[in-house]
Amino acid sequence: MPLYCQLKDTLKAAIERGKLKPNDRLPPETELAQLFQVSRMTVRQALIELENEGFIRRRQGQGTFVAERKFRQSLLRLTSFTEDMQSRGLKAGARVLSVKVISGDENLMQRFEAAPDEQFVRLERIRLADGEPMALEISFLRRKFCPRIEEIDFTDRSLYVTLREEFGLELGWASQTIEAKLADEYEAKVLGVPVGVPLLLMQRITYLADGLTRIEYVRSSYRGDRYQLYVEVMR
């Protein structure tokens, strides 16, 4: 195995085992070269590999730091943000930015295959994990299936649990698209990240258990530095 691969695996193991913690500053390349008795080029190649895999981050003029742990999200199950965070032992939360009832939106009518006079509830939230912003989430719901839902406080409440327990709505499946985008000024402000950092834009249409009725359209912008998507494929 090349020396840079051995060094990369050594540093990676130290990060995964917690010997090097998020936001810890790594020694300069020259010190790492002396410590592991390798060339500076070997150190540089190992660090490039670790950065490409998301284990470290370089900050201009400051040095190299251990990156925050990424959350792995499976694409095989329909789960809520709250369920995802609870499965990791984290406290899920939200900061509600706005909630309002809207109608006459042609784009929503097409997405939901709804009648022209149908009303929708627009719920915009910052999703938190242990108090840290993870995603900007904008949900649109068909109000006729969940009347007066706009009066419920979703600060620390799961939307999917509310749909089931308060309105008797069982979710069945969802269609979802995922693409990369750069954070605009508004997203950067509410997520606490620099403008232009990579985000994962997920758009989902959720169906009820009958398999036909569309109940939710949600647009979520996840921090690319904290999320990775996971799926198993078979040949």
- Count of Cβ atoms closer than 10 Å to residue 220 Cβ: 21
Instruction: State yes or no: pLDDT of 191 exceeds 90.
Output: yes
pLDDT of residue 71: 66
Question: 22 with 66: CB under 8 angstroms?
Answer: yes
Contacts of 221 (CB under 8 A, 6+ apart): 135, 136, 137, 181, 183, 187, 191, 199, 200, 201, 202
Mean pLDDT score across all residues of the chain? 88
| The two structure tokens encoding residue 207 | 């169906």
pLDDT of residue 76: 65
- Count of Cβ atoms closer than 10 Å to residue 206 Cβ: 23
Class of domain 71-230: alpha beta
E-only strand ranges, the chain = 56-59, 63-66, 71-74, 92-103, 119-129, 132-142, 171-182, 198-208, 214-223, 227-230
CA 92 to chain centre: 12
The string of pLDDT tens digits covering residues 71-123 is: 666 666 777 777 777 766 777 788 999 999 999 889 999 999 999 999 999 99
Q: What are the boundaries of each domain within the chain? A: 3-66, 71-230
Architecture of domain 3-66: Orthogonal Bundle (1.10)
Q: Do domains 3-66 and 71-230 have the same CATH topology?
A: no
The string of pLDDT tens digits covering residues 114-123 is: 999 999 999 9
The secondary structure of 196-227 as a DSSP string is T-EEEEEEEEEEETTSS-EEEEEEEEEETTTE
pLDDT of residue 70: 67
pLDDT of residue 85: 74
Q: Residue 224 — pLDDT band, cuts 50, 70, 90?
A: confident
Q: Residue 194 — pLDDT band, cuts 50, 70, 90?
A: confident
Least confident of 49-58, 123-132, 223-232: 223-232
Least confident of 49-63, 119-133, 143-157: 49-63
- Structure-model confidence comparison of residues 1 and 180, the more confident one: 180
- The overall pTM is greater than 0.85: no
